Structure 1
Amino acid sequence: MSTKLLKTVFIVLFCILSRISFSQTKYNLDPKSIQTGKEIFEVQCAACHNFTQNGIGPQLSQIIMKREKNWLISYLKNPQKTMAEELNFDKRVIAMPAFAHLKKNEVEDLLAFINSRQSKPDPKRAISPDGLINPIPESIKKSELTLRLKYLYTAPATSDKIPLARINTMVVLNDASKKVFLSDLRGIVYHFNEKELKPYLDFKKMVPEYIHVPGLATGLGSFAFHPDFLKNGLFYTAHSEKANSKKPDFNYADSIKITLQWVLTEWKTNNPASETFEGTRRELFRIDMVSQIHGMQEITFNPYAKPSDEDYGLLYIGIGDGGSSESGYPFICENPKNLWSSVLRINPSGNNSKNGKYGIPETNPFKTDKRFAGEVYCRGFRNPNRIYWTPDGKMIISDIGHTNVEELNIGQKGLDYGWPYREGTFIIKPDANMKQVFDLKGNTKSYTWPSAQYDHDEGYAISAGYVYNENEIPALKGKYIFGDIVNGKVLFVENKDLNLGQITNIQEFTLEIDGKIDNFRNICNNNKTDLRFGQGANGEIYVYTKTDGRIYKVVGCE
């Protein structure tokens, strides 16, 4: 099987689209059925599919014309079986999830909606012969190092369906207490230790408008404690709510759909030492999103900033393009006056913003430049999923790519990293077929290159990590450890080799889990592992997989 085939998530539908078999079967044209189908699509399908561009899965604007209705129904119920029986694909390829839980009428309504969105192929979206088949031919090398992990326990299930526990963000209080917290996207912030998780805050009880569907990253995106938390009791969260829950502070033309809103909230606890939250909250701002993907995935403070530093107490916020590019609205994230596709820096205690609820620091790069949004620290990201400072002070921004390239970037004030016109060190064309990337060929547009990148022969979505800087595991010291969300590979680069705009080599660990050479796909019994990383109070590294909710600790390397 070719590397090109292996890189394609949900590849089977691309092959479906290439097998023309014009359907004569009638679909329900009733507006109520179509509306119900739209609602099902938004929850079940829209995180991966749309009708304009290929995303995680292919765009679906011609699917009804090219496959019989009964075949589509069978495929929806059991795509893996269809692949095995009819298309004879390699088992390593990732099939879309089965929708056997949908009732017959729900499937009919879903197909009615998809049928209502059919259109002729757009010539602008045609495959170009100049597109790169394999953008990065060099493979990630397997290092001689074996990373040893120990299983700790399984997080409490927050669903009876995969992913069982959407454990996501680990945060350490940057004070003498060194308490560690871990969040679940479904709305729970836990106290974390190596034996158990204890609930600290439950969003479902505190925020009635809160939602964690639709979408793969909808919910409690991130949280961060103010560096003076023990004194002022302040911490911050990014979460999602239904469209039009309240008037947004940042929006776009009302002719463009709103799928949901992301909200930045400040919380004040009555007692910072309490094991559970009691207190108040206030909203800092909310922003509309075109789709349910690439929202406000990260908020954090610079842990190395001291009270005398200008960065102290300033909150960094990663906001993606909201799916605007692949939905046909790249101008939303392209416009420098907008917040989408940017890393922001604000002063939560200030009030010189337009809504008066937060401050824009005087040292922000565009504070006095009317061509830009003053909140922006740097821009040009599709999905700035995690922000992390290395022990030597570099700001690392991971950016989850479209269909070709995953990035690690060094964030610096005022720089543009290229989205929606760059994916890694390659050209991408948002007005053409975004499945393809192109060689720069001397293009000198001054976008900043990533510091490490890999293409989709090697993985599908970057999972950011941490530098191990302790002495307990000498072989790991100085390595930035990260991985791939989907295939569960654990990777590393040398922190000393991470330099602005200079590509460094990535290597892969062999994994020993509880004394056995293994991999996370095998342990999860699923082609998607949903791999994440955390770092504890003493610099130790944790690894967890949302698919099964298991939490591991890195205990050695040799």
Structure 2
Amino acid sequence: MVSPTGRRRFLSMAVAGATGLAGSSIGSAVTDPESPASIDRLPETVGLERVLGGLEAPVAVEFAADGDRRYVAERDGRLYAHESDGRRDEPFLDLRETVVTGGERGLLGLSLHPDFAENRRLFVHYSSPSRSGTPADFDHTGVLAAFEATDDGGRAKPGSERVILEIPQPKNYHNGGDIAFGPDGYCYVAIGAGGGGGGGGQDVTTDFLGGILRLDVDERAGEKAYAVPDGNPLVGRRGLDEYYAWGFRNPWRISFDDGDLFAADVGENDYEEVNLVEKGGNYGWNIKEGTHCYDADECPDETPGDVRGGEPLLDPIIEYPRENAETGVAGVSVIGGYVYDGERVPSLADAYVFGDFLASGRLFAATRPEDGNDLWPTTVVEVANGERLERLLSFGRDEEGELYVLGTGVDGGGLYRVIPAP
């Protein structure tokens, strides 16, 4: 069994090559016989095709729409451009002198602007030494920043960094860090609750910890390097206008599928979860862990009446426990993925594919239930060449809807395309 400390330090474990996979307690792949028919057509096995090797701790990948080019972020602060003839020798962007690592800090998020082909703007989220405005007893400052690439997209222009937002972080874990642009063109930023056991997640008035923000990074308002969309749920109400949703512990990877926003949230002691995020939604931390009470015998299903009128605490669409030998869907730290929209593996069509940090050669796949209020049926999808995937760190999806996995295994760290099983 992996301790809670191990659960909150999965990035540092990946870099250090920690051992002690929980394979014996996780069990084998079994499809729930009572699941709807939609889950029965999912593949039992897929393969992984290596696209890029020689990586250490790859945490994000983005695909350029204007050519055969992808950008891969390493946790230590390097960002590489990989093209049809291979990876460029020099990093596209090198932030190693700026980024602090250790614990779960580092270069944590990457997203290309929807109009990257025209404006060459990309956005990163990284851990920095404490900056002005960060309390003295806090650990570091999270930074959301924009850069501009050269015309050919091969390098970031020197001196092009523009800081969008700084987020004081109390601890070196539970930092979140993912970035994604929605179909509305706005930038969504996932921020962890900041560590300290059960703390964070419900206060939307003093900081951004435990929330997903929505920002208009194409406009500026006053001294801010962004504008707040008028439709954000706390505009004109008590709370910080930047919030889109709250009540998260450590959202590790968010993604969009059409208008749906998926957010995986790493649990504390017993349960991992994935949420289908609504504007103004409260996802329960630190009152609930998944659909269960956190550290209490009883817990409410809504906030008190004097907290935004008694809003409901929304349940996840997916949850799984630390141990469950019956279905095999178990682990220690959820890694959010994407809805599959490609053609290489037709049997994965429309399934939400994700995984756990202690992958042990497995991915998970979930399908929408017939009753929209039920948890999504979830099953294990074994990786045929599973030795390539011991530690899972992130996912990506290209312009054709094909799915990619970032992680480490016996052949080091790499970026892998999901393909049919050999």
Q: TM-score, normalised by structure 1?
A: 0.62
* Equivalent pair of 1:426/1:439 in contact (CA under 8 Å): no
Counterpart of 2:155 in structure 1 is 276
Distance 1:480 1:171 in 2: 18
* Equivalent pair of 1:170/1:180 in contact (CA under 8 Å): yes
Letter in 2 for 1:407: E
Which structure has the highest strand share of the two?
Answer: 2
RMSD (CA atoms) = 3.0
Work out the percentage of aligned pairs sharing the same amino acid: 20
* Equivalent pair of 2:123/2:147 in contact (CA under 8 Å): yes
* Equivalent pair of 1:400/1:461 in contact (CA under 8 Å): yes
1:88-487 equivalent positions in 2, closer than 5 A: 141=31, 145-152=43-50, 155-157=53-55, 165-173=56-64, 175-177=65-67, 179-193=69-83, 196-198=86-88, 199-204=90-95, 208-211=97-100, 213-215=101-103, 217-243=104-130, 246-248=131-133, 251=134, 257-269=137-149, 271-279=150-158, 280-302=160-182, 305=183, 311-312=184-185, 314-326=186-198, 330=199, 332-337=200-205, 338-352=207-221, 355-369=223-237, 371-391=238-258, 393-429=259-295, 438=297, 443=301, 445=303, 446-457=312-323, 458-487=330-359
Say if 1:93 and 1:387 are closer, same or farther in 2 by CA, change over 3 A.
closer
Distance 1:382 1:324 in 2: 11
Say if 1:498 and 1:541 are closer, same or farther in 2 by CA, change over 3 A.
farther
Letter in 2 for 1:346: L
Say if 1:293 and 1:400 are closer, same or farther in 2 by CA, change over 3 A.
same
Letter in 2 for 1:555: I
Higher alpha-carbon Rg: 1
Pair 1:512-2:384 in alignment: yes
Higher relative contact order (CA 8 A, sep 6+): 2
TM-superposed deviation, 1:324? 3.8
Partner secondary structure for residue 141 of structure 1: coil
Distance 2:114 2:21 in 1: 45
Counterpart of 1:551 in structure 2 is 415
- Measured against aligned partners, the alpha-carbon deviations of 1:362-400 in whole angstroms (never above 9, x if no partner) come to 11111111x211000000000111111124x21111111
- Measured against aligned partners, the alpha-carbon deviations of 1:61-114 in whole angstroms (never above 9, x if no partner) come to xxxxxxxxxxxxxxxxxx99xxxxxxxxxx7659xxxxxxxxxxxxxxxxxxxx
Say if 1:294 and 1:194 are closer, same or farther in 2 by CA, change over 3 A.
farther
Distance 1:546 1:156 in 2: 10
* Equivalent pair of 2:123/2:144 in contact (CA under 8 Å): yes
Which structure has the highest helix share of the two?
Answer: 1
- Measured against aligned partners, the alpha-carbon deviations of 1:247-291 in whole angstroms (never above 9, x if no partner) come to 13xx56x5xx2111111111123x332312224111122121111
Distance 1:220 1:367 in 2: 30
Counterpart of 1:539 in structure 2 is 401
* Equivalent pair of 2:44/2:380 in contact (CA under 8 Å): no
Say if 1:480 and 1:374 are closer, same or farther in 2 by CA, change over 3 A.
same
* Equivalent pair of 2:301/2:313 in contact (CA under 8 Å): no
Say if 1:498 and 1:543 are closer, same or farther in 2 by CA, change over 3 A.
farther
Segments of structure 1 that go 5 or more residues without pairing to the other structure are 1-7, 12-47, 58-78, 81-90, 95-138, 158-164, 306-310, 430-436, 514-518
Pair 1:9-2:2 in alignment: yes
Q: TM-score, normalised by structure 2?
A: 0.81
* Equivalent pair of 2:138/2:170 in contact (CA under 8 Å): yes
Distance 1:228 1:443 in 2: 41
- Measured against aligned partners, the alpha-carbon deviations of 1:435-479 in whole angstroms (never above 9, x if no partner) come to xx6565x75552000001101111111111122223342212121
* Equivalent pair of 1:230/1:273 in contact (CA under 8 Å): no
TM-superposed deviation, 1:296? 4.3
Distance 2:408 2:279 in 1: 33
Counterpart of 1:108 in structure 2 is none
Letter in 1 for 2:212: V
Say if 1:443 and 1:152 are closer, same or farther in 2 by CA, change over 3 A.
closer
TM-superposed deviation, 1:141? 3.5
Distance 2:187 2:51 in 1: 32
TM-superposed deviation, 1:346? 0.7
* Equivalent pair of 2:68/2:83 in contact (CA under 8 Å): no
Partner secondary structure for residue 406 of structure 1: strand
Counterpart of 2:309 in structure 1 is none
Segments of structure 2 that go 5 or more residues without pairing to the other structure are 11-17, 24-28, 33-39, 304-311, 324-329
- Measured against aligned partners, the alpha-carbon deviations of 1:477-499 in whole angstroms (never above 9, x if no partner) come to 121111111133211011x3398
Aligned residues: 382
Structure 1 segments (4+ residues) deviating >4 Å: 54-57, 91-94, 437-440, 442-445, 498-501
Say if 1:414 and 1:443 are closer, same or farther in 2 by CA, change over 3 A.
closer
Distance 1:193 1:497 in 2: 39
